[in-house]
């Protein structure tokens, strides 16, 4: 079968164990959603998570050599590996269908546009504790909403497609990376102070003690799963926009490849909910620059704890 010049193969295979949907279902979903998902992928270096038949899932950043010439791409320097990575730019329906045929299930665009060095959004990522209910995440999201409202910053909300939610604040095209990261840390810290029994900024998992984790590390060169992207989870859920009026009684698994298109009809609630770009609140930026970077602080704390353990056993 050929669509938009892409030769589609093995369409009746299940896309991954427990998905409950075939590769045909995936490609039909991506095609039906292309007008909604392409705007959130366009001009952003794209990482995808693929599942080849009989293999574990893996994240693909660097495009394979067999990628068609018509797939647009951009080179990004990777400090960790000290090399340029050749990322795709998924700017059109044909490229999206090609990725679907490559069994790319999840779509994780960069927070910056290709060739730019300023994040387009500030993002809060909220994750429940192990075994925690989605209702806990929603209660924690309401804390973050209060902080954002107090700072006069509008936002849009979506499920992660897994267990948590993402809150996006659109920014002007000149927001410095360091200030965006600082403001994100301050938002998390203020939300935690509102209800420390519910929410935590503890980066080390064992320090969270059954609380919702307010992850403030989605900044700079990070990626985040795109709105409407499928996830590699039982039932093939998708990352789905939510309004505050519809939160009670829903859960991430309610929105799947099978029903998302029908639920949306002709709407694009992610685009509709996204406010115009807005400057960072100066108070958040100032406070955030006094808060240690979570990953760095956790690394030092881990080293300190290991040193203590060595002393105990020596």
Write out pLDDT tens, residues 300-311.
455 555 556 666
Beta bridge mates, 156: 168
Cβ neighbours, 10 Å, residue 218: 20
Q: Higher pLDDT residue, 84 or 311? A: 84
Residue 25 pLDDT level (bands cut at 50, 70, 90): very high
Q: Please determine, for residue 290, whether its predicted confidence score (pLDDT) is greater than 50.
A: yes
Residue 289 pLDDT level (bands cut at 50, 70, 90): very high
Confidence (pLDDT) at 254: 95
Confidence (pLDDT) at 11: 96
Q: Please determine, for residue 202, whether its predicted confidence score (pLDDT) is greater than 70.
A: yes
Confidence (pLDDT) at 306: 59
Residues 29-55 pLDDT 10s: 999 999 999 999 999 999 999 999 889
Q: Please determine, for residue 298, whether its predicted confidence score (pLDDT) is greater than 70.
A: no
The mean pLDDT value for 96-106 works out to 98
d(CA 59, CA 47): 7
Lowest mean per-residue pLDDT among 53-57, 72-76, 235-239, 271-275: 53-57
Residues 156-180 pLDDT 10s: 999 999 999 999 999 999 999 999 9
The mean pLDDT value for 214-221 works out to 86
Q: Please determine, for residue 312, whether its predicted confidence score (pLDDT) is greater than 80.
A: no
Q: Quick check: 120 and 112 in contact, CB under 8 A?
A: yes
Q: Higher pLDDT residue, 104 or 303? A: 104
Q: Please determine, for residue 84, whether its predicted confidence score (pLDDT) is greater than 50.
A: yes
């Amino acid at each position: 079968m050929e669509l938009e010049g892409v030769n589609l193969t093995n369409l009746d295979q299940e896309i991954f164990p427990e998905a409950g949907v075939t590769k045909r279902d995936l490609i039909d979903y991506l095609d039906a959603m292309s007008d909604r998902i392409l705007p959130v992928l366009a001009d952003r270096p794209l990482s995808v998570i693929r599942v080849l038949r009989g293999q574990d899932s893996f994240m693909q950043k660097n495009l394979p050599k067999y990628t068609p010439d018509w797939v647009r791409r951009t080179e990004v320097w990777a400090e960790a590996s000290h090399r340029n990575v050749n990322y795709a730019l998924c700017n059109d329906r044909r490229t999206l269908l090609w990725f679907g045929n490559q069994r790319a299930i999840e779509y994780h665009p960069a927070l910056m546009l290709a060739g730019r060095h300023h994040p387009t959004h500030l993002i809060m990522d909220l994750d429940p504790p192990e075994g925690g209910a989605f209702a806990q995440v929603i209660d924690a999201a309401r804390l973050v909403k209060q902080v954002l409202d107090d700072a006069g910053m509008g936002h849009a909300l979506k499920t992660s497609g897994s267990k948590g939610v993402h809150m996006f604040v659109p920014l002007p095209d000149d927001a410095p990376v360091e200030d965006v990261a600082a403001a994100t840390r301050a938002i998390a810290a203020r939300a935690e102070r509102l209800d420390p029994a519910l929410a935590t900024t503890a980066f080390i998992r064992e320090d969270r003690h059954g609380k919702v984790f307010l992850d403030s590390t989605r900044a700079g060169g990070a990626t985040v799963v795109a709105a409407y992207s499928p996830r590699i989870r039982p039932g093939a859920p998708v990352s789905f926009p939510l309004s505050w009026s519809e939160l009670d009684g829903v859960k991430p698994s309610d929105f799947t490849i099978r029903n998302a298109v029908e639920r949306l009809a002709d709407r694009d609630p992610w685009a509709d909910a996204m406010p115009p770009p807005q400057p960072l609140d100066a108070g958040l930026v100032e406070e955030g620059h006094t808060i240690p970077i979570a990953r760095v602080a956790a690394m030092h704390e881990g080293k300190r704890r290991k040193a203590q353990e060595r002393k105990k056993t020596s």
